[in-house]
Amino acid sequence: MVSISFEELFDPHFMESLHHLRLVAGRVPMGGRFAEQRSKDLGHGIEFRDFRPYAVGDDLRAVDWNIYRRLGRVFLRLFEEMEDLPVYLMPDLSRSGFLDEAPGDPGRPLRAHVGLRCALALGAIALGQHDSVGLFPFSDDVQVAMRPQSGSGRTMTLAKQLAALEPGGGTDLAQSLKKLGAMNLRRGLVVVISDFFDPAGIEAVTKALGRVRHELVLVRLVRAGDADPTEAGGPGSPNSMSGDLRLVDAESGETRDLSITPEALNAYRSAYARFRDGLADFAQRRRAGLVELDVDGDIVEQLGALFEGGRYEA
């Protein structure tokens, strides 16, 4: 198990490729400072949105006197408030993500390393537009690695915090989300970066996600071998699953002897499809962002799936 180095994580060329992406919240609760996020509230912002009739107690500075002179009625000009979006990054530090899934291919990145680079990418985007970013890595519990901070100058701080993270234990997303909720953080955007393989099952995972009071973006880290273990190392490779094997749970250490038969493979594929569809159905119902990130592909190019026209609207 290997933690990522600062030099590997904080790559200037990687950071340069992020400029065209922006995180944008469609509706953000009041209470933050100025930034590039549109609030659901209307007040004395900078972008005109609407008129409404004057009511006793309204600020007279918002009265449109041109309408009053033309119609003899008092209306207020309403402007869109702009404020920061708190972004809470939750990269998965479970032990299994730091294990080499393809020992014969040293060029393939570790799943957890890709997750940390993804966290840096999204965090740098948010910090660059004056949002606040907090870092809450998890495995069987959640950590507070960096309390929410804002400013583009914090990107280096975020990179150093990510590089300092160590592999965790097993996976307990429900417990981690419960503790995050108990922190009473200002409502914002929670980004969970994980393969979402949890011993409790996908139903427990989606139930826990459903209790999160923040907006959600789910970044699912995938490989070809996840859906079809015969493709684990590429067709015909020594890492493809076949024959009689002793499987070792990457987190618990438990072993199980198994004969890889066509029936066993079909049962696995069906179980994986239920897992994948369960997460996708939840994201659709919750209107959460969901992107499948192939850890062997280009991170920035794939993150573009979240950003239509260079923006992601929560």
R_g (Cα) of the chain, nearest Å: 23
Weakest-pLDDT range from 16-25, 71-80, 275-284: 16-25
Q: Look over the chain and give the mean of its residue pLDDT values, rounded to a whole number.
A: 79
278 has pLDDT over 70: yes
pLDDT per residue over 105-151, tens digit each? 666 888 999 999 999 989 988 888 788 999 999 999 999 999 999 88
Parts of the chain belonging to CATH 3.40.50.410: 6-26+85-308
Residue 234: band (very low, low, confident or very high) from pLDDT cuts 50, 70, 90: very low
Task: Out of 5-19, 73-87, 188-202, 299-313, give the one with best mean pLDDT.
Answer: 188-202
pLDDT in the model for residue 235? 38
Helix (H, G, I), strand (E, B), or coil: what is residue 189? strand
C-alpha to C-alpha distance for 217 and 204, rounded to whole angstroms: 18
C-alpha to C-alpha distance for 254 and 242, rounded to whole angstroms: 20
* Closest C-alpha to 147, from 184, 121, 177, 118: 184
Percent of the chain clearing pLDDT 70 (strictly above): 72
The CATH label, of 3.40.1390.10, 3.40.50.960, 3.40.50.410, 3.40.50.150, for the domain at 6-26+85-308 is: 3.40.50.410
- The whole-model pTM stands at 0.78
Packing angle, helices 111-128 and 155-163, rounded to 10:
160
Contact 200, 252 (CB under 8 A): no
Residue 236: band (very low, low, confident or very high) from pLDDT cuts 50, 70, 90: very low
